[in-house]
Every structure is written in C-alpha cells, then in structure tokens.
C-alpha cells in the first residue's frame, strides 16, 4: 500500500466529512446537550458516514486490484454496510432497541458463517472449544459493535481508539510477516484520521451511530479473521482494544447489578467521569492514546512476537490496571 493511496483516502474522508457536516446542519441533525451528555454545545452528528463510505470504497479498490480476497472483502463490505445503514437510520430517527439488537445478532451470525465458523479454535494451549466457539464469536461481534457505540461519547476517543489499534496491529502483522493483509488496517486508519481532524480537539461534528457501530463490527471481524490464523494475534486485538472493552464491560456489569437497564442513557463510564473531573475531553483522549501505545501495544508485541507468555495471560495482565482504574473511578455508579 503506497503512501499516495493512504493520502488519497485520508483526503476523501476529510472532504466527505465537510459535506456531511453541511448536510447535518441543513437537515438539523444536531446533538443537543442534556444532563446525560458529555458536551455542552449543540453539535451536528453523522460525520462518521464519511469514514464508512471512504473505507467501503477502499475495500472495493483492494478487491478489484486483487490485494484482498473477494470472500473476505464482501464479508466486510456487506456486514459493515448493513450496520452503518442501521445506525444512519437511527441517527435520523429512533429505531426500537430490541429490533436493532436482533439485526446486530443476525449480521454477526452471518459473519461467523461466512468466515467458516470457529469450531476448530483451541484455547489455553489445547482446550478444544468446539461449537461453543461460534457462539462466543457471535457474542463478541455484537458486544464490540455495541460497546463502541457506548464509548463514543467525547471528542476524538472513538477515532483514536480505532487508529491506535489498527496501526498497532498493522505493525505486528508486518513484524510477524503474517499472511493477513495489513493494507485494510492502514486504509481504515487513514479514513478515520480524515474524520478525526473535524472531531478533535474541538468537535465540529460528531461521529454518529452509523460509524461507531460500523467501526466496532469492522474491528471485530478483523480480529476474528486474525483468530483463524493465530490465537495470539486475536488476543493482541483484544489487548489493543482494552480501554474500550474494560470500560464498557465493567460499567455495564456494575449498572446491571445496580438495577439499571442495559440501554438506559448515562454518563458513568470511566472516560466520562474523567472528562468531568478534568473539565475537558482533550486530556482524556490523549491519555487513551498513551495507554494504547505505551502499555497495551508493548504487551501485545510481547505475546505475539516474543511469545513471552500464554496469550490469555497477556490479556489478563493488560486488563488488570484498566480494571483498577474503573474501580477507583467508581464507573457504573449512579451519576452524581
């Protein structure tokens, strides 16, 4: 993948975000602040459609140039398009949460079937998971899709999480000399970066459900494709996504235990609590970048390249400080 190609798709996403902002303002697609928001100024939303469109085009180009197999490319395009369309419709009006979740499951089941299933996957150095691995894969996709939506709440955070994760994994793919195609990772990072400049440090437009769900699903599919190749690579994906996985999972569990519904609006994630404490989104987003690059990526490198420890143990080591932070910040507790 040439630097020119990356620059072209970066520019495409950047330009399309400009037009999406104009469209959102014209159609009054605005996020107005409320007591559950982490922002204080009415801001147009739906800019992430630019990421979706530019990346789907990039995948099409990769398929046409035979740098990506038709099967994998169509799986990413079809699943991503359905979820992005669902999110786009939800951005323009309200879609029943149960209907939305049912479609998420149907798409996830279709992806797992398209990838040939995961019954052959083993864990902990030989434990055969069998058919249950397929169920776990479906739940993994649905949860990652939704948690990405939950975590898209302050300027830049969803974008930098995806960029640092894809770049980290692209580096691991290159060092390991894996057969997996890293071009799809670099291109995704380029497309997201084109949007990020409109969303950080000051948000001129928000990503919207169309893109947050799309990113969660796409990253999940890429992680499952890596699982077909190497369990350690899959664990590396889980490690690199650790900030989002831990914050969203811990917060949801805590809220359910406290008697709240899963889809009740709130602002009790760790990142939301920190943004209020620090009275700014910017330092929180930068801390996420620092954690991803200085803590999570090195652990992923050690388990994949150095084969330092069992991959599953590496995930636990990576997550423990993140869990500690969520506990100390009292994530999931009723809003103060």
Look-up: residue for tokens 């889809």? 263
C-alpha to C-alpha distance for 187 and 198, rounded to whole angstroms: 18
Pairing, β 43-44 against β 30-31: antiparallel
Residue 41: the pLDDT is: 79
The per-residue pLDDT for range 130-152, each reduced to its tens digit, is 899 999 999 999 999 999 999 99
Angle at 234 between CA 245 and CA 104, to 5 degrees: 55
Answer for the pair 156, 199: CB distance below 8 angstroms, yes or no: yes
Answer for the pair 46, 29: CB distance below 8 angstroms, yes or no: yes
Ramachandran angles phi, psi of 65, nearest 5°: -85, 5
DSSP 30-47: EE---TT-S--S-EEB-T
228 in helix, strand or coil?
Answer: helix
119 in helix, strand or coil?
Answer: coil
Per-domain residue ranges of the chain: 3-233
255 in helix, strand or coil?
Answer: helix
Phi-psi region of 221 (alpha: psi -120 to 50; beta: other; left: phi over 0): alpha
| pLDDT tens track, the chain, 336 positions | 688 999 999 999 999 999 999 999 998 888 776 655 566 678 898 999 999 999 999 999 999 999 999 999 999 999 999 999 999 998 777 788 899 999 999 999 999 999 999 988 887 777 788 899 999 999 999 999 999 999 998 999 999 999 999 999 999 999 998 888 899 999 999 999 999 999 999 999 999 999 999 999 999 999 999 999 889 999 999 999 999 999 999 999 999 998 887 777 788 999 999 999 999 999 999 999 999 999 999 999 999 998 888 899 999 999 999 999 999 999 988 764
Pairing, β 127-128 against β 122-123: antiparallel
C-alpha to C-alpha distance for 215 and 142, rounded to whole angstroms: 12
Pairing, β 127-128 against β 30-31: unpaired
Residue 336: the pLDDT is: 47
Answer for the pair 88, 46: CB distance below 8 angstroms, yes or no: yes
| Helix (H), strand (E) at residue 297 | helix 297-304
C-alpha to C-alpha distance for 237 and 243, rounded to whole angstroms: 12
């Amino acid at each position: 993948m040439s630097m020119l190609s990356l620059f072209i798709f970066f520019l495409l996403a950047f330009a399309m975000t400009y037009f999406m902002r104009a469209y959102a303002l014209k159609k009054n697609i605005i996020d107005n602040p409320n007591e559950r928001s982490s922002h204080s100024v009415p801001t147009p939303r739906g800019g992430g459609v630019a990421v979706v469109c530019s990346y789907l085009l990039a995948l099409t180009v990769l398929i046409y140039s035979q740098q990506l197999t038709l099967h994998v490319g169509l799986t990413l395009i079809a699943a991503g398009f359905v979820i992005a369309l669902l999110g786009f419709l939800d951005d323009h009006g309200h879609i029943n949460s149960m209907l939305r979740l049912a479609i998420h499951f149907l798409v996830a089941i279709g992806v797992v079937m398209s990838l040939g299933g995961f019954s052959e996957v083993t864990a902990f150095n030989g434990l055969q998971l069998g058919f249950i691995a397929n169920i776990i894969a479906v739940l993994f996709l649905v949860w990652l899709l939704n948690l990405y939506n939950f975590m898209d709440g302050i300027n830049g955070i969803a974008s930098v999480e995806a960029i640092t994760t894809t770049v980290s994994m692209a580096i691991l793919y290159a060092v390991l000399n894996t057969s997996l195609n890293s071009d799809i990772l670099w291109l995704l990072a380029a497309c997201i970066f084109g949007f990020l400049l409109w969303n950080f440090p000051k948000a001129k437009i928000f990503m919207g459900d169309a893109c947050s769900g799309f990113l969660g699903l796409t990253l999940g599919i890429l992680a499952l494709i890596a699982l077909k190749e190497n369990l350690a690579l899959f664990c590396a994906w889980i490690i690199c996504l650790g900030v989002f996985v831990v914050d969203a999972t811990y917060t949801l569990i805590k809220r359910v235990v406290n008697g709240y519904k899963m889809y009740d609006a709130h602002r009790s994630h760790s990142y939301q609590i920190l943004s209020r404490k620090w009275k700014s989104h910017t330092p929180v987003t930068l801390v996420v970048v620092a954690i991803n690059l200085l803590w999570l990526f090195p652990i992923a490198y050690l388990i994949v390249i150095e084969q330092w420890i069992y991959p599953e143990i590496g995930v636990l080591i990576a997550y423990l400080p993140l869990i500690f932070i969520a506990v100390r910040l009292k994530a999931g507790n009723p809003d103060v």
